[in-house]
Structure formats: structure tokens, C-alpha cells
Amino acid sequence: MKEKSEHIPVMPKEVINFLKPKKNGIYLDATLGGGGHTVLILKSLGKKGKIIAIDQDIEAIERARKKLAEYKNKIYYIRSNFRELDIILKRLKIKKIDGILFDLGFSTYQLEDKKRGFSFSEKEENLKSFLDMRMNTSLETTAYYIVNRYEEERLKNIFLNLGEEPYIFAKKIAKQIVLERKTKAIETVGDLLQIIKKSTPPKYRFKKAKGRYADNVFRALRMEVNQELENLTEALPKAVSSLNKEGRLVVISFHSLEDRIVKQTFREMSNKNIVKILTRKPIVATQKEIESNPKSKSAKLRAIEKL
Ligand SMILES: C[S@@+](CC[C@H](N)C(=O)[O-])C[C@H]1O[C@@H](n2cnc3c(N)ncnc32)[C@H](O)[C@@H]1O
């Protein structure tokens, strides 16, 4: 595996401040990724402290096993979807844990891996990437399947709702997809970019920051392929149930729909006196962090403590 950029963990200090790891606690990183946050948590744990590290992407698990070899006795690696975290804990015979982190979305490794089709970069070597976008490569549905099989109306709704693409362009892009796939399957990143270009005026494309005109459509497809909102909705109540008293849950999201799910779930649990909300408003990255790690710009962190 050829590595290009490291994945830089978002809001590292804030994560540790809110998670407040106890020396001998058991923690769960629901989104291991490049292991950046896992290492930070590990560093604040004592001899008996442990961490359960989940990722649905086998490559993330394998990379972390090598990178974090020195901590191997303190980490349980689990390749799974975090929405199964209740089953995972049961299998490990762990009843309650002291803290959980979700750092949602995808990692820099996934984005930059040309065989995975996550990136809408117009660099020559990326244009031929197959439209895959699965974080878990054993899932059946790829972005290729969605663009070549879903009905026009469904495609439009995905671009509109998950991508937050303006209605007019969501509609035009969906229509163009359906038209073009009648003669030839839409297979690559380049194929899809051409369709988006044909369906949007130059004025709209150039208004978007540097080549980001395809951002909405790509994000929408990625969220649909990986069922990201559904996973989060299912996982959050399970996460809260698995916490010890005073255990903490920290969630970093990058999309307004995700943040809404987190906010509503936390509010409902707080109304039932199950948790205390630690962040009345979401915590965002400092200007300094945004400059050194642009990905942090859209990050929102929310945290709760179990009562
Ligand atoms: C933003 S990255 C995490 C980066 C990590 N915090 C770090 O500092 O390196 C998100 C990771 O979560 C994984 N992921 C996303 N949704 C998941 C899910 N439902 N279940 C398990 N892993 C998931 C992705 O495969 C990706 O590796």
C-alpha cells in the first residue's frame, strides 16, 4: 500500500478534553481510520487502560496494526460497522465502557486511494478510477450500481437531500445520468464528472472553490453507498447504553444532516435524564487548525456525559 498523506486527527485537544480518559478505563474508537485519535487516547491511558478500535475498512485495520504495534496489548481491533457496537461488546464480554469517540466520514487514505473512487480530483490518474466508494469493500452496493440502476427521481432526491445540491442541478444531473447510461454504463470518476459538467453552467462551476463543483454529488453518493446517516442513527443510542455512569460520548461530524441527528439524539436523551449535554453549541476548530488542516473547517464536535 503506497501512502501519500497522513490523516491528521481533527480537534485533537478538544477530543481529549471532552473524553477525559480515566487512566484505567476502557474506551471505544468507533472510527479508527488512521489511528490518530486512538493514539491520543492511548497516550492518556494507564497500564490497565484499553481501547476497542472499530473500522469497517480492512485497510484501516491493517494499517493501524502496523503503525500502532507498540500498543498491541492495549487495543482490540474490530473490523465491523459501528452500528453493531452492542454485539461487538457482547462478544468481547465487556458490559460497560468509559468513553466512545465517533469521528465520522472518510479518511485521507480512502480519499487518496485511486482504486476507490472517492475523489473528484480531475488529475489524469484519478479520472479512470472506478466509481466504487465503499468503505467496506464487502458491501454489495457501489456508487457504480447507484448511478447505473437507481431511478431518476431517486437519484435526484439523493443529490438534493444528501448532497444539498440546488434543486435545478440535482434534477438536471439525474436526468443526464439516465440519458447517458442508455448507451454506455457510467463507470469512472471521469464519466461522472463529464455528466456533472454537461448539467451545470460554467458560472455555477466556477463559483465553487477550485474544482469543487462535484463535491455535492460525490458526497451524496458516498453517503448513500455507505448508509452513513442510517448507521449513525442506529449507533448513537447503542453507544449511550453501553456507557458507564459518567462515561463520555464525543461525536465529530462533517455534514449538517449528521450534526442534526447527533443534536436531536443528545437532546432526547438529555430530556429523559439519561445524559448531560456538555456542549450547548457544537465546538468548531480554531482558525489555526483550519489553516493547517482544512478538513477541520466543517467539523462539529458534540459531547455528552452519561448520568
Ligand atoms: C474520519 S476517519 C477517522 C480518522 C481517525 N479518527 C484518525 O484520527 O485517524 C473515519 C473512519 O471511519 C470509518 N467508518 C466510517 N463509517 C463507519 C462505520 N459505520 N463503521 C465503522 N467504521 C466506519 C471509515 O472507514 C474511516 O476509516
**pLDDT tens digits along 248-278:** 999 999 999 999 999 999 999 999 999 999 9
Residue closest by Cα to atom 14 of ligand 1: 31
Last residue of one domain, picked from the residues 207, 225, 243: 225
Asked if residue 30 belongs to a domain, the reply is: yes
Interval between CA 84 and ligand 1 midpoint (Å):
14
Same domain, 266 and 207: no
Q: How far is the CA of 175 from the centre of ligand 1 (A)?
A: 33
Contact 158, 228 (CB under 8 A): no
| Beta-ladder partners of 249 | 100, 304
Domain boundary among 179, 204, 225: 225
pLDDT recorded at residue 211: 64
Q: What is the DSSP letter of 83?
A: G
Strands 243-253 and 26-29 come out as unpaired
Minimum CA distance residue for ligand 1 atom 20: 81
Task: Give residue 202's pLDDT.
Answer: 84
Instruction: Give residue-wise pLDDT tens across range 287-299.
Output: 999 999 999 999 9
Instruction: For the beta carbon of residue 305, count every other beta carbon within 10 angstroms.
Output: 17
**What is d(CA 99, CA 97) in angstroms, rounded to the nearest whole number?**
6
207: in domain: yes
- Domains in the chain: how many in total? 2
CA–centroid distance, residue 280 to ligand 1 (Å): 25
Which residue has its alpha carbon closest to ligand 1 atom 24? Answer: 106
| List of the chain residues with pLDDT < 50 | 1-3
Q: What is the C-alpha R_g of the chain? A: 20
Taking the centre of ligand 1 as the mean of its atom positions, its distance from the CA of residue 38, in whole angstroms, is 11
pLDDT of 1 reads 42
Q: Measured at the alpha carbon of residue 163, what is the angle toward residues 157 and 168, in degrees to the nearest 5?
A: 60
Residue 217 and residue 148 share a domain: yes
Q: Give the Cβ contact number of residue 242 at 10 Å.
A: 21
Dihedral sign of CA atoms 228, 247, 59, 1 in order: positive
Task: State the closest ligand 1 atom to the C-alpha of 232, by its place in the atom list counted from 1.
Answer: 19
The verdict on 74 and 152 lying in the same domain is no
Q: Which of 62, 135, 223 to mutate to test the pocket of ligand 1 (most atoms within 8 A of CB)?
A: 135
